[in-house]
Amino acid sequence: MLTNFLSVVKLLKRFGLFIYTGNKLDDIDLIRDEVKELYDNGLILKEDYLQAILILREEQRKLESK
């Protein structure tokens, strides 16, 4: 179950995907793209995909409001 940003990062790591650009907003965009690819290829469940997208949106909102 995905509960926070770190859990989404760990999901990607399970598939050998490591994303770090030094800019968290850019990381979120890249992570979103990778999560979509995983879902489109049937590697993660729809529930996990939707939860990950919600978590990423919330994390992006937090960063942009600072």
Profile the chain (66 residues) by mean pLDDT over runs of 10 residues.
96 97 97 98 98 98 94
Note the pTM of the prediction, 2 decimals: 0.94
Which two tokens mark 36? 């979509």
* pLDDT for res 43: 98
- What Å distances lie between residue 65 and 25, 30, 61, 62, CA to CA? 12, 20, 6, 5
For residue 36, how far is the Cα from the chain centroid?
Answer: 9
Alpha-carbon gap, residue 63 to 45, rounded angstroms = 27
Q: What is the CATH number of domain 5-64?
A: 1.10.287.760
Query: Where are the chain's structural domains?
Result: 5-64
* pLDDT for res 55: 98
